[in-house]
């Protein structure tokens, strides 16, 4: 290329108009409360960066979390930070206000207790068909938002779910798993969130049970209210379990094989929704017995090995492997950054720079 041609090309590049709107896809992680949740988010982001080094990542967090990142000299691990309003520093506070924190043209909100297992490109392509959505399934099971034990039989016998739907003029109830939420249309997202908050305020008119009754839970669920809002507005859920293209799957120890760093992950997915739903039974032997019994019927014991985009550690009794992963990632990052010593903050081991 001649010098004149190079000069012409340079003039063209400098004079062409800058696009007024870039179609940016990006991730947002909410973090509030104890510093351990910041560690979880950083660990999840590190797993994301194995497969996606280009899309930006933002934290919606409290000032204390941003200050800690700066003090530890690891602020560069995220591309953007926005501070949560005090009233949004809870599960329902945030999930019922995601429209306020949609930082990008297409924003994917992720819970921190997730590990990326493969490239998310196909997931982003599939999500383009939606204006707003959350992962879930077409129909919720009887335990959704209700008692997790035998108490659910009372709800079933008294037809409480049917009464709730009828009272609010609804004809169906999806199962929403809000660990993954997607916003392209902020106005629609606001409509869903506002309606969900209204349903939560009217819990006394529904059959849903306060999550505070569950052992180990300190916050209300946002999911049944989101499900009712999406039903009311006819907003579809995004299939979270969809064979080999599954967006996310639960970590269940005896149904998941993986290496130490979760770089090679395979989850057992029973092709029968009924059998797959048994994964929530904590007693492994009981679950296996029920699976064998249902396996008498053709197809009920068939399964595939699936690598989801995201492995979700949502069950309280299955979180220890993620805690170990998050601790190791946190220690490695800080060890790579600087010489560090150990300090205990709020009963959680956190590495901080050594003095002197």
Residue 147's pLDDT band, with cuts at 50, 70 and 90, is: low
Tally of residues, the chain: 356
**CA-to-CA distance for 36 and 172, rounded, in angstroms?**
38
Check residue 278 and give its pLDDT: 82
Strand partners, 181: 109, 134
**CA-to-CA distance for 306 and 245, rounded, in angstroms?**
8
Average pLDDT of the chain, as a whole number: 86
Q: Quick count: other Cβ atoms within 10 Å of Cβ 151?
A: 12
Q: Which of 19-33, 139-153, 169-183 has the highest mean pLDDT?
A: 169-183
Domain ranges of the chain: 25-353
- Weakest mean pLDDT among 20-24, 201-205, 216-220: 20-24
Check residue 63 and give its pLDDT: 96
Rg of the chain (C-alpha set):
23
User: Which tokens sit at 207?
Assistant: 């059959």
- Crossing angle of the two packed helices 63-71 and 36-48, in degrees rounded to 10: 70
Q: Which of 6-20, 183-197, 291-305 has the highest mean pLDDT?
A: 183-197
Fold of 25-353: Spore Coat Polysaccharide Biosynthesis Protein SpsA; Chain A (3.90.550)
- Weakest mean pLDDT among 13-27, 196-210, 313-327, 334-348: 334-348
In this prediction, residues 79-99 reach a mean pLDDT of 96
Check residue 192 and give its pLDDT: 97
Q: Quick count: other Cβ atoms within 10 Å of Cβ 35?
A: 16
**How far lies 91's CA from each of 94, 167, 273, 290, 335, in Å?**
6, 26, 28, 34, 32
- CB neighbour list of residue 331: distance below 8 Å, 6 or more residues apart: 351
More confident residue, 16 or 80: 80
**CA-to-CA distance for 240 and 248, rounded, in angstroms?**
6
Output the pTM of the full model: 0.85
In this prediction, residues 167-184 reach a mean pLDDT of 94
pLDDT in tens, 322-352: 999 999 999 999 887 554 444 434 444 454 4
Among candidates 325, 99, 126, which has minimal Cα distance to 237?
126
């Amino acid at each position: 290329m001649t010098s004149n041609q190079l000069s012409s090309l340079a003039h063209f590049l400098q004079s062409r108009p800058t696009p007024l709107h870039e179609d940016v896809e990006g991730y947002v992680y909410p973090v509030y409360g104890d510093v351990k949740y910041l560690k979880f988010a950083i660990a999840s982001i590190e797993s994301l960066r194995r497969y996606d080094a280009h899309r930006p990542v933002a934290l919606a967090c409290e000032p204390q979390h941003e200050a800690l990142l700066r003090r530890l000299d690891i602020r560069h691990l995220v591309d953007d930070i926005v501070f949560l309003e005090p009233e949004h520093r809870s599960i329902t506070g945030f999930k019922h206000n995601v429209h306020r924190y949609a930082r990008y043209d297409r924003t994917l909100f992720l819970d921190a207790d997730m590990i990326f297992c493969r490239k998310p490109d196909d997931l982003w392509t599939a999500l383009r068909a939606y204006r707003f959505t959350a992962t879930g399934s077409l129909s919720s099971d009887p335990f959704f938002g209700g008692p997790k034990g035998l108490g659910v039989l009372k709800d079933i016998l008294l037809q409480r779910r049917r009464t709730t739907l009828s009272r609010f003029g609804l004809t169906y109830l999806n199962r929403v798993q809000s660990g993954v939420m997607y916003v392209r249309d902020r106005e629609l997202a606001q409509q869903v969130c506002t309606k969900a908050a209204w349903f939560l305020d009217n819990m006394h008119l529904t059959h849903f049970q306060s999550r505070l009754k569950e052992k180990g839970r300190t916050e209300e669920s946002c999911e049944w209210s989101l499900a009712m809002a999406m039903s009311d507005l006819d907003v579809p859920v995004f299939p979270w379990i969809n064979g080999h293209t599954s967006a996310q799957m639960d970590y269940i120890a005896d149904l998941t094989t993986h290496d130490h760093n979760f770089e090679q992950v395979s989850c057992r997915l029973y092709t029968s929704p009924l059998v797959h739903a048994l994964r929530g039974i904590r007693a492994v032997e009981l679950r296996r017995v029920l699976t064998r019994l249902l396996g008498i019927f053709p197809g009920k014991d068939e399964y595939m090995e699936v690598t989801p985009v995201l492995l979700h550690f949502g069950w309280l009794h299955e979180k220890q492997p993620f805690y170990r992963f998050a601790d190791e990632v946190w220690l490695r990052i800080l060890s790579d950054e600087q010489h560090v010593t150990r300090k205990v903050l709020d009963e959680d081991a956190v590495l901080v720079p050594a003095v002197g």
